[in-house]
Amino acid sequence: MQLTPAEALARGSVAPSSESPYKRYGIERAHVHYEVSGFRRGVEDLYFDNWGRKEARYINVEDLTEQGTRPAKNIIVTNGSYMQMADLIAGRGNFMTEPVVDSLMKLKQVDAAEVISDSIMSRLGYTRQGEAPILGIQTNVWHEPTTGTTLYAWKGIVLKQEVKTPQHHHMVVAVSIDTTSPIPDSIFTAHKGVEYSPMPPRPGPGGGPPRQR
């Protein structure tokens, strides 16, 4: 049976995954509010529940270009291994199943969220560079020299992302985090008025784009 994007998002993935032991994050729920600076300025909000099985990222920024500023409003919503990405200004979006997450959710035993996160960081070319506090929380610092990207992660959650190159300096930094308040289900629903289509496969191994912040 072919599912609509809204139905697939509500179900979580084509394969049942409600009994999966996989946890994306090391805490059950959170709302993280970020400030964005550099060539992109504005705010982001990350919401997740059920250890990250349900997740939504709301992005409201302005991109600085040679022609001036260009607004960008995007929403990325995930349930299980199913993901929707929407451009609210253009009214268009894509949907896909995350292959790695889909495989993890089908396992009967998986490592802790922090172990999986560290393993993914290493495979992406990041190396540990100690610890640093963000919002009073001790985070693990990861650096990838090719792109000049440094990530500050806690329990699988990136609390700060900094990109430094000769051309630009860009940061996304958490300024508040709430790990106790309930998160309404409406946060994780498909956005109305957006025309969705399947994510085109990328060439080469993997068959899909890497998860973006």
Task: At 169, give phi and psi (nearest 5°).
Answer: -130, 125
Mean pLDDT score, 34-45: 96
Residue type, 31: H
- Domain total for the chain? 1
Q: 172 and 134 in contact (C-beta within 8 Å)?
A: no
Q: Is residue 211 part of a domain?
A: no
Query: Quick one: pLDDT at residue 2?
Result: 47
Q: Is residue 213 part of a domain?
A: no
Query: Quick one: pLDDT at residue 199?
Result: 85
Q: Is residue 13 part of a domain?
A: yes
Spatial distance between the Cα atoms of 50 and 63, rounded to a whole number of angstroms:
33
Query: Quick one: pLDDT at residue 113?
Result: 85
Q: Is residue 143 part of a domain?
A: yes
Q: Is residue 189 part of a domain?
A: yes
Query: Quick one: pLDDT at residue 187?
Result: 94
User: What pTM does this model have?
Assistant: 0.86
Q: Is residue 206 part of a domain?
A: no
Give the CATH number of the domain where residue 121 resides. 2.50.20.10
Q: Is residue 204 part of a domain?
A: no
Q: Is the pLDDT of residue 68 over 50?
A: yes
**Which of 96, 74, 97, 103 minimizes the C-alpha distance to 191?**
74
- The predicted-structure confidence for 170-212, as pLDDT tens digits, reads as follows 999 999 999 999 999 999 987 788 898 898 765 444 443 344 4
* Range(s) of the domain holding residue 48: 5-198
Q: Is residue 207 part of a domain?
A: no
- The predicted-structure confidence for 121-176, as pLDDT tens digits, reads as follows 999 999 999 999 999 999 999 999 999 999 999 999 999 999 998 888 899 999 99
